[in-house]
Every structure is written in C-alpha cells, then in structure tokens.
Amino acid sequence: MEARVLKLGYSPCPNDTFIFYALTHGRVESPLPVEAVLEDVETLNRWALEGRLPLTKLSYAAYGRVRDQYVALRSGGALGRGVGPLVVAKKPLGSLEGARVAIPGRNTTAFLLLSLYAEGFVPVEVRYDRIMPLVAQGEVEAGLIIHESRFTYPQYGLVKLLDLGEWWEGETGLPLPLGAILARRDLGEGLIRALDQAVRRSLEYALAHPKETLPYLKAHAQELSEEVIWAHVRTYVNGFSLDVGEEGAKAVERLFAEAEARGLLPPSQAPLFL
C-alpha cells in the first residue's frame, strides 16, 4: 500500500519556510511523509473553515472559528513581543473613523486586533503584499500590514500610525499571539502528538543550520534582501515557536476571551492545545 502523504499548509514568509524547511526536505524524522502547500495566510484561513488541510498554519483569529475541528500544536507558532501588525499611512491621521483601511483578510489576527482597538473604519480586503502600494498610491487612507512589511514600509514613503502589538502588550502584559500550526482533530491524538514533535525537530534543525535554509527562504520571500529575511526570522521565530508555554497559552486564552466578549469570535469549549 502506498504511504499516506500528509498535506501541510504554510505561508511563503521566512518564519514559516524557516520552521518547515527540514520537515519538508527530509532532514528530520516525520510520522508521515509531508507535502508542502504554500499559500498566503488568508487563503489558508479560508481553507480551514472548510477543513481542507489536515495540518496547517493559521491566524489565531481563524483558529477561533474552527476550534471544534482543529487543535493547535505546541510548536511552530508565531507569538511574541515586538511582533505586532502595524497601521501605516502616507501622513498622520487624527483618527481611523471613516477611513478606508486596507486589511490582509477578515480572518487574520491583525484584523481582529484592529477591530478590538478601533471602530468606524472601513475595511478594504486585499492580499497582504498589495497593501503598501495601495496606501502609497492614495487608493486607501491607511493600511494594516503584516509579515515583511513591518521592515519595509518606509521605502514606500509611509509612516506608522499604530503598533497593535505595543497596544496589546500594554493592555495585557502578555505576548501577542499571531498564528499557530493546527492539526485536524480527526487525525487522532497519537498522530497529532507525533507531528508536534516533528515540527519541533524541524525548527531545531533550522536553528542549528540556518545557512542551509537560506536558498529555500529566498525562493519564496517577498523581500529578497538577506538582511530583511533574517530580521523577519529573528522577529517571528523565538522560544514560543519551540513551545507555546504557559504564558503563550494564557495570551491566546485572553485574545479569545476579549474577542468573544465583543462578539467577534464564537464561543467554544474545545481545548486549545494538545
């Protein structure tokens, strides 16, 4: 019988390609062969609403809508301090009230955070890598940026209006949860735990052999500058990526509680992590 192949969805951003390089290139042991499916994060978020992929990177905001079908692995996620989405514009704005704000998707954690912070803005949904050009061209008043854009927005002549990570950390004292690796619960607890360990081994391999991963990172990155690529990895890959830990889990619980209280996410009693 032909071996079962598990499809794994993640974004082409350097933090994801860094984490999954070893797993998808046969450098570490895996309980099943893994086939990489690279898509932008909002596409993966939408697919999760259909339960399309058995193993996938998701925004925590999207996870909040599929908690009964998926469970988060303890490894491979994106949480931390100084990692927040930014709101940028061509010039300072007194308020976002009535402003058209380009967003990277309604299922992203960035949009959930902005919805917790502000009301009355008009979201304009576009792919994340189109946001800064739209703002620079004056087609929208502001943009909600994620991923490598955090490091490159000044090149578009834009200014920072708001750092949603700083706001979250100031309000809660907790790290900001951005994204997680989720497994469909129907895979079964044994396989899910084995996959969690495989993801951790993959990240540990990348940390031990960073130069080996670089061609793969550059092949998929929006920004080809090695300086930007490694800044991205250093920012979004940290101790929480190896294991979400007690503090990280507490941050996710707080995010979901705040969103549920505002009616932005549905309630669920399903356990969040393995």
Q: What residues are paired with 34 via a beta bridge?
A: 6
Tokens at 166, concatenated: 């700083």
Produce one character per residue of 214-246: b if its CB has 16 or more CB atoms within 10 Å, e if not. Answer: bebbeeebbbeeeebbebbbebbbbebbbbbee
Catalytic residue among 147, 209, 220, 232: 147
Region class of 55: left (phi > 0), else alpha (psi between -120 and 50), else beta: beta
Residue 147 pairs in a beta bridge with none
16 alpha carbon, distance to own chain's centre: 9
Catalytic (active site) residue 147 = yes
Which helix (H) or strand (E) segment holds residue 99: the answer is none
Nearest-angstrom CA–CA distance, 43 and 3? 27
Residues recognised as catalytic: 147
